[in-house]
Amino acid sequence: MEWSRQLKFFMSSVVMMVVISSSSIAAFAASGSLIPMGNSIGIQLELAGVFVTSDVPLSKKNSSLQAGDQLVSIDGVSVKSLQILHDKVGEVEDESAVKLLLRREETDVEVEADGLSFKRALPFLKETTEGTGTLTYVDLNDGTYGALGHQIIDSSLNSAPDFDSGSIYLSEIEQIKKSSPGNPGYKISSIIDQEKTLGSILTNSVYGIFGDWNTSYKQVLPEPLEVMQPSELTVGKAEILTTIQGTEVESFEIEISKVANDSFQFKLTDKRLLEKTGGILQGMSGSPVIQKGKFVGAVTHMFVDEPEKGAGLFLGKMTDVGAK
């Protein structure tokens, strides 16, 4: 999207290109409508291995672990999980040397460390990433969903993470840190029930996360809305659906200010929302946008210096990319 340089997107450290079946495309084309959501969601990804979250010096020959490294093996033992790693480390003496095989920027790197310095590095290793965002739509025709409107980037890895599996969960907003010019605010939330997933995460694309919807989710869903075509969107009043307290999805007024081919810009005008949040928040990405009873798209970005202003993506762009 071509926006001002002031436009930056923010997401929690977590905030995939796996194929969704072609039936989703057919179902979408046939129905022409999707269910707008607006619920706050917790996001969890099981990474494809064990990764380093911060630069960590080691003792041998000025070696170190670097943020983003994947730990492939220790003393020839393949490390596919933290449990395997901890079992192996339990056998290592503090004074003994250990050989580590790392994957660093697509290159294999061998380093050495003594047992004690490597044990001290363990808190800087992880196998999951987590974050929060907003659920955009559900399509009951093919049992899928879309959320966020942008890609999950793991801040400690500084990239879209490779992952084996992932899930989204209903979360509850506990507190709001308000936005101010130059200082993006954020939602503080927690997952309500770790045992109840809303859906799986199959795809992490630049236009959002997508996956299979858990059809056993019992909450009453809103009525589907017709998907608006980009040519139908006009400058003027619209609304967003989002959650700023507890689990309640509410509607707030916005003003569409600019329309482009696959995206649009808007300004928050709802006084109650502005008083509560100060503007767009981290965790608000994915909030559905509605105009004239039609489903326009999702909130994706904010203007850092003018947090009441933001940008969104047309829903058709999300569903097109998510279905590939």
Q: What pLDDT is stored for residue 17 in this prediction?
A: 29
What token pair was written down for 30? 């046939």
Specify the pTM. Answer: 0.84
Look at residue 42 and tell me whether its pLDDT is greater than 50: yes
Residue 284 to residue 189: CA distance in whole angstroms: 12
% pLDDT > 90, the chain: 72
Helix, strand or coil for residue 109? Answer: strand
Residue 12 to residue 33: CA distance in whole angstroms: 30
Q: Which of 176, 166, 242, 227 is nearest to 200 (CA)?
A: 166
pLDDT-derived band at 11 (thresholds 50, 70, 90) equals very low
Q: Tell me the mean pLDDT in the region 205-225.
A: 89
Q: Which of 6, 1, 2, 12 is nearest to 309 (CA)?
A: 6
CATH 3.40.1400.10 given to domain 7-47+129-322: no
Q: Tell me the mean pLDDT in the region 307-324.
A: 85
Q: Where are the chain's structural domains?
A: 7-47+129-322, 49-126
Look at residue 253 and tell me whether its pLDDT is greater than 90: yes
Look at residue 254 and tell me whether its pLDDT is greater than 90: yes
Spatial contact of 272 and 176, defined as CB atoms under 8 Å apart:
no
Q: Tell me the mean pLDDT in the region 288-309.
A: 96
Q: Which of 39, 22, 108, 16 is nearest to 286 (CA)?
A: 39
Bigger pLDDT: 298 vs 4: 298
> DSSP states of 35-59 as a string?
EE---EEEEEEEEEEEEE-S-EE-S
Look at residue 29 and tell me whether its pLDDT is greater than 70: no
Q: Tell me the mean pLDDT in the region 3-30.
A: 34
Q: What pLDDT is stored for residue 280 in this prediction?
A: 96
Q: What pLDDT is stored for residue 108 in this prediction?
A: 95
Bigger pLDDT: 161 vs 2: 161
Q: Which stretch of DSSP H or E encloses residue 239?
A: strand 236-242
Q: What are phi and psi of 119, to 5 degrees?
A: -60, -35
Residue 312 to residue 151: CA distance in whole angstroms: 14
Q: What pLDDT is stored for residue 25 in this prediction?
A: 34
Bigger pLDDT: 222 vs 3: 222
- Summarize pLDDT for 94-121 with one digit per residue, the tens: 888 899 999 998 899 999 998 898 999 9
Q: Tell me the mean pLDDT in the region 222-246.
A: 96
- CATH top class, domain 49-126: mainly beta
Q: Which of 309, 312, 225 is nearest to 260 (CA)?
A: 312
What does the mean pLDDT of the chain come to?
87
Which residue in the block uniquely carries the two structure tokens 């339990």?
A: 90
Q: What pLDDT is stored for residue 158 in this prediction?
A: 81
Residue 184 to residue 304: CA distance in whole angstroms: 6
Look at residue 66 and tell me whether its pLDDT is greater than 50: yes
Q: Tell me the mean pLDDT in the region 23-40.
A: 66
Bigger pLDDT: 17 vs 112: 112
Burial class (CB in 10 A: 0-12, 13-18, 19+), 140: middle
Q: Which of 11-15, 96-100, 170-174, 266-270 has the lowest mean pLDDT?
A: 11-15
User: Which residues lie closer than 8 Å to 169 by C-beta, 6 or more apart?
Assistant: 41, 42, 43, 44, 191, 192, 193, 194, 196, 197, 198
Q: Tell me the mean pLDDT in the region 160-182.
A: 94
- Summarize pLDDT for 264-279 with one digit per residue, the tens: 999 999 999 999 999 9
Bigger pLDDT: 100 vs 155: 100
Identical fold, 7-47+129-322 and 49-126:
no
Look at residue 314 and tell me whether its pLDDT is greater than 90: yes
